[in-house]
Each structure stands twice: as structure tokens, then as C-alpha cells.
Amino acid sequence: MTPRRSIVIPKAQSGQRLDLYLAQLLGISRGYVRRLLGLKRIRLGGCMPRKGVILNAGDRVEILPFHDPQDGPRAAPEVPVHVLREGEGLLAVEKPAGLPTHPLDFEETKTALNALLARYPELSGVGDGGLRSGVLHRLDTHTSGVLLFATSADVWRRVRVEFAKRRVQKRYLARVHGAYRGTLEIALQLAHRGRRMRVVASGGREAVTQLSPVREIGDTTLVEVRPLTGVMHQIRATLSHLGHPLLGDLEYGSTRDLGRHLLHATFISTLGFDAASSVPEVFESEL
């Protein structure tokens, strides 16, 4: 735990946003600052402030004790997770829908990483370390399927290079609204707009995706998806842009609330290590 701190804002920091100031002061991300604000670990003038409040010289900021994100998450043996394959410094697990990839703060334990740490403590400190120890890539909370972790720093670095060079093979199965037809490779520019990613004309991150229909089920279609890049919400935003949002993806235009969106990571391959995950029955069932 970090010690309790009380800081008087100097004149040089007057006019700065609270979250930016604290991120720089504490050496943590703005996202983690927001978590601390939500946990009421930060006070401004004795009150619970908003993240975007502007600081004035002489303001007093109190920072209550909190877990440093570099401390790493706690092991959670009670959280079930199925290991599909292990070896060569890699772990492939089958993440169910509803389970986050990794925690956002020390108090959170119901994630794939917390579950794995109970069986593979060597994950701690690998790669980015802290709350992202061993994490090679992420799946959205409501995306299911194969997820890859590294148990050694050397393997983590090598696989991250493979991701950067677009040499990691990934396949997904999506169930989308409407009759999707035609094999397509599409490149879009995506940028953050609130909690969502939006297609923009320029200035976004390039998202390249290959799409191929598998079969139609009623007024929906199963589509094989191969992302060639790794942009947040890439598949979800691309399918929504094409007018075929994922079933259950209310954020991106679905009209059916299924408690999850129907996107499943079926396969991943890198450095001669590959793993596959079976598709849940809901992808084939009548809805």
C-alpha cells in the first residue's frame, strides 16, 4: 500500500486537470487515477472531486493509501478458467464471456489473469507487469474464446514483436444481424468517441479486417473474421460500420439484448504455438 499523502498545489500546476496532475505525480495511468477517484481514495479540499476538475494554486489534495498497480493482482483460485494449451513460455486459455482479461485495480479479482496467477505465479511481473502481468493481448469482457499469456519475459517480448509486425494469426467467429455476403478485406481509420470507437476520415488508428460469410441462420449470418491489426473494438466497430452489428452488441447497434455480444476467438497462432477454442452453442442456436 502507498502511504497517505497531502499535497498543496503549487502555482506552477494551477490550471491543470486533476487527473493529469495526479497521473504525472504518481507515475500511474489516467485510467488508474479514475479508478482511485471512483474508490474515493482522492479528496480535494475535503470533498470527492470529479476527474476533470481544474486545480488552483493553494488547493489541498489528499491521496489515501492505495495499492500501487505495479504490485500486481492477487491470485484468485476460486475463479474458474480452462487452460487449452501450455508450453514454450506460453499459456492459451479459454475465456468465457463476462470475464475480463485482467483487473483494472488491486481490489478486482474476477478476471482471467487473477485466476491464472493461482496456478502460474510465474506470470507475475512478466511483460508490462503489475495488473497486466503476462498479458499479450486482450479480449473484450463479453468476447469469449482463446486468449494468450506469456510466462517468461523473453517470450513476451518476442510475441509482442510478432503482434507489431502483424504476424500473429487470429481467427474469430461472429454472428451478425442481416444477410452478410461476400468475402472482403477492409481498412478503416478508428478513433475513440466516448466509450466507442468510430470510423473517421483521418487521424485514427488503422484497422484492417478480413471477413468471410460462413452460413446464414434465419435473419442472421455467421461470419469468419480475421483481424490483421489489433485496434480496440476493431471487429465490433467494423461490422457496425458495414451495417451488420454483432448480435447482442448494444453499444454498436444491435437490437437484441443477449447479455453478451456474439463474438468468439476461435484460433491463435504465433512462433509455432497454436491453440483453438470450440464455439459456444449459442452461435448456432435459434434466437
Contact between 175 and 283 (Cβ < 8 Å)? yes
> Would you call 121 helix, strand, or coil by DSSP?
helix
Q: Is the dihedral of CA 266, 262, 163, 33 positive or negative?
A: negative
Residue range 5-66 in CATH 3.10.290.10:
yes
pLDDT of residue 70: 62
Q: Is position 71 annotated as part of the catalytic site?
A: no
pTM of the model: 0.79
- Report the pLDDT averaged over residues 22-35: 85
Domain covering 168-287, topology: Pseudouridine synthase (3.30.2350)
Q: How is residue 128 written as a grid cell? A: 508490462
How far apart are the C-alpha atoms of 69 and 182, rounded to whole Å? 45
- Report the pLDDT averaged over residues 57-62: 94
Other beta carbons within 10 Å of 162: 15
pLDDT (tens digit, 9 = 90+) per residue, 212-251?
Answer: 999 999 999 999 999 999 999 999 999 999 999 999 999 9
54 DSSP 8-state letter: B
CATH of domain 69-165: 3.30.2350.10
Contact between 43 and 4 (Cβ < 8 Å)? no
Residues whose CB falls within 8 Å of the CB of residue 82, separated by 6 or more in sequence, listed in order = 93, 94
User: For residue 274, how far is the Cα from the chain centroid?
Assistant: 21
* Average pLDDT in the chain: 94
69-165 and 168-287 share one fold: yes
Share of the chain above pLDDT 90, in %: 80
Contact between 54 and 17 (Cβ < 8 Å)? yes
How far apart are the C-alpha atoms of 196 and 203, rounded to whole Å? 16
Query: What are the domain boundaries of the chain?
Result: 5-66, 69-165, 168-287
Assess whether pLDDT exceeds 70 at residue 255.
Answer: yes
pLDDT band at 110 (very low <50, low <70, confident <90, very high): very high
- Report the pLDDT averaged over residues 46-62: 91
Report residue 233: phi and psi, to 5°.
60, 25
Catalytic residue among 19, 105, 140, 249: 140
pLDDT of residue 71: 64
